[in-house]
Amino acid sequence: MSTPNPQSLIPNLQSPPVIGVFGSGQLGRMLALAAHPLGIRVHTFSPERDTPTGQVAAQEICVSYDDQDAVRAFVRGVDAVTFEFENVPSHVAEIAAEEGKLVRPGGHVLHVAQNRLREKGFFAEAGLPVTPFALVHSLADLQAGLAKLGTPAVLKTAAFGYDGKGQVKIDDPSQAEDAWQAMNGQPAILEAFVPFEREVSVVAARGFDGAFAAFPLVENRHANHILDVTIAPAQVSSEVVAEAAQLTRRLMEALDVVGVLCVEFFLLPKKNQRESIFSASSASASFASHSGRLLINEIAPRPHNSGHWTIEGAVTSQFEQQARAVCGLPLGSSEQVRPAVMVNLLGDLWAKGEPDWAALLAYPTAKLHLYGKSAARPGRKMGHVTVTAETVEEALETALSARKSLGGR
Ligand code: AMP
């Protein structure tokens, strides 16, 4: 018998490996569902009760992340630790490491991803193409940043921002004071407004041994800053696809990520399109030199909404891949089996009461995923639907039509 590798947790009927997840949303839920067939259990820790993850996990612990004794007790009951959102306090990863558990991704990855300034600074230092940006700690910094980057620009809080929260667009330098007020004195980042042709992303996994597997590049369409539709694969040139995979690999290696990570990119328009789009803004020189290329917007060191299609559309889902990477098992194939489109189901769909699920399920290729959240609020992610088909056009048409059949939108 071979000697067990301390980096790996091998499925074992007598004593199944346990992944402890900090966070309890839909990402943890889909991880738990994907881990089950591999003989791996999931425990979840978060301040909430009856959560999307807790409903399907083997154990749900409902305590504040600040309760360090409870964090330690939870960690002692699992074999490996992972995170389903990046804004977990840093002591959590530290305690898990102190307890000698596998922590994947490591605390250093969360530290970078928790803060847009650190994140963009890291990309720039690693020589990765990033949206032009400036650090803002005061109104004077903001004014200097606007002078450097030009307008339009976007001011974002450095910490705790997602789905467009904590963001203000600045169209004219005269709006600087109001924009700075909106940051409530918190450190911020000013970004040039990117006149992107489209938004695309790559979800990829990296093993402890450096193994790497990227899912195909996908296109993401947003509504009100929230992901609305993912089209897999993205309908872009093979050069862009190759560049995205290569940048993702470089980024994951530079950051030494073990686990799953998503890179969101802006795809810049090609030169001839660009001439009519770009004004004389100071950032345009940088965009011009990247014509037709990719800029990194942000990363998420975990499975991502833009990878949900992999459950039906790829040989291995992003969640199974996460379970494998976290447990130090070989990665599965990330090959796509069929064109796929995912549409999100937001709480807005409940505006006129319960959506018409029977109408949706009458579409035989529409695969419904509900997250088990009992309160539907506008903008809240309640579920998603994936359709696979012969072509992306057919998948898109069916997915949009299936969602429309729910009424309410
Ligand atoms: P974020 O939370 O930074 O991912 O922003 C949410 C969405 O806002 C992105 O997916 C883009 O659609 C848009 N956005 C954010 N930053 C920029 C930018 N610098 N230029 C243009 N659009 C942006």
Nearest partner of 221 among 191, 187, 264, judged by Cα: 264
CA of 199 to the centre of ligand 1 (A): 9
The alpha-helical segments, DSSP class H, found in 57-190 are 68-76, 90-98, 107-113, 116-125, 139-149, 176-182
Give the pLDDT mean for 115-143: 96
Res 409: pLDDT? 42
Q: Which atom of ligand 1 is nearest to the CA of 163?
A: 2
User: Are residues 384 and 273 both part of a single domain?
Assistant: yes
pLDDT, one tens digit per residue, over 280-316 is 566 766 777 777 899 999 999 999 999 999 999 999 9
pLDDT value at 273 more than 70: no
Residue 96 phi/psi, 5-degree rounding, is: -60, -40
User: Are residues 63 and 180 both part of a single domain?
Assistant: no
User: Are residues 318 and 169 both part of a single domain?
Assistant: no
Q: Is the peptide bond before 16 cis (omega within 30 degrees of 0)?
A: no
pLDDT value at 274 more than 60: no
Parent domain of 182 = 132-192
**What is the CA angle 38-40-46, rounded to 5?**
135
C-alpha distances in angstroms, 102 versus 3, 82, 107, 233?
Answer: 18, 9, 11, 33
Of the three residues 84, 103, 122, the one that is the final residue of a domain is 103
H or E element in which residue 196 lies: none
Q: Is the peptide bond before 105 cis (omega within 30 degrees of 0)?
A: yes
User: Are residues 184 and 64 both part of a single domain?
Assistant: no
- Does residue 239 sit within a domain? yes
pLDDT, one tens digit per residue, over 157-205 is 999 766 667 799 999 999 999 999 999 999 999 999 999 999 999 999 9
User: Three-state DSSP class for 219?
Assistant: strand
| pLDDT confidence band for 250 (50 / 70 / 90) | very high
CA distance 43 to 323: 13
C-alpha distances in angstroms, 62 versus 67, 70, 71, 331?
Answer: 11, 10, 10, 31
C-alpha distances in angstroms, 63 versus 67, 92, 330?
Answer: 7, 13, 33
The CATH number given to whatever domain includes residue 239 is: 3.30.470.20
Closest-CA residue, ligand 1 atom 10, reads 225
CA of 206 to the centre of ligand 1 (A): 26
The tokens describing 228, both together, are: 């609305």
**What is the CA angle 68-162-204, rounded to 5?**
85
The CATH number given to whatever domain includes residue 48 is: 3.40.50.20
Of the three residues 175, 192, 209, the one that is the final residue of a domain is 192
Placement of tokens 């030199």 in the chain: 289
User: Are residues 242 and 181 both part of a single domain?
Assistant: no
User: Are residues 151 and 202 both part of a single domain?
Assistant: no
DSSP string for residues in 348-366: GGGTTSS--HHHHHTSTTE
Q: Which of 154, 196, 229, 305 to mutate to test the pocket of ligand 1 (most atoms within 8 A of CB)?
A: 154
> Any idea how long the chain is?
409
pLDDT, one tens digit per residue, over 73-114 is 999 999 999 999 999 999 999 999 999 999 999 999 999 999
Q: Which residues contact 209 (CB under 8 A, 6 or more apart)?
A: 7
Whole-model pTM: value is 0.94
H or E element in which residue 325 lies: helix 318-327
What is the domain count for the chain?
3
User: Are residues 232 and 371 both part of a single domain?
Assistant: yes
Closest-CA residue, ligand 1 atom 13, reads 225
User: Are residues 301 and 233 both part of a single domain?
Assistant: yes
Pocket residues for ligand 1 (CB within 6 Å)? 131, 154, 161-164, 191, 193-194, 199, 222, 225, 297-298
CA of 1 to the centre of ligand 1 (A): 52
Cα distance between the two ends of the chain: 59
**What is the CA angle 193-214-346, rounded to 5?**
55
Closest-CA residue, ligand 1 atom 12, reads 225
Nearest partner of 246 among 330, 114, 221, 238, judged by Cα: 238
Placement of tokens 């569902």 in the chain: 33
Residue 261 phi/psi, 5-degree rounding, is: -145, 145
The tokens describing 288, both together, are: 């011009």
User: Are residues 313 and 225 both part of a single domain?
Assistant: yes
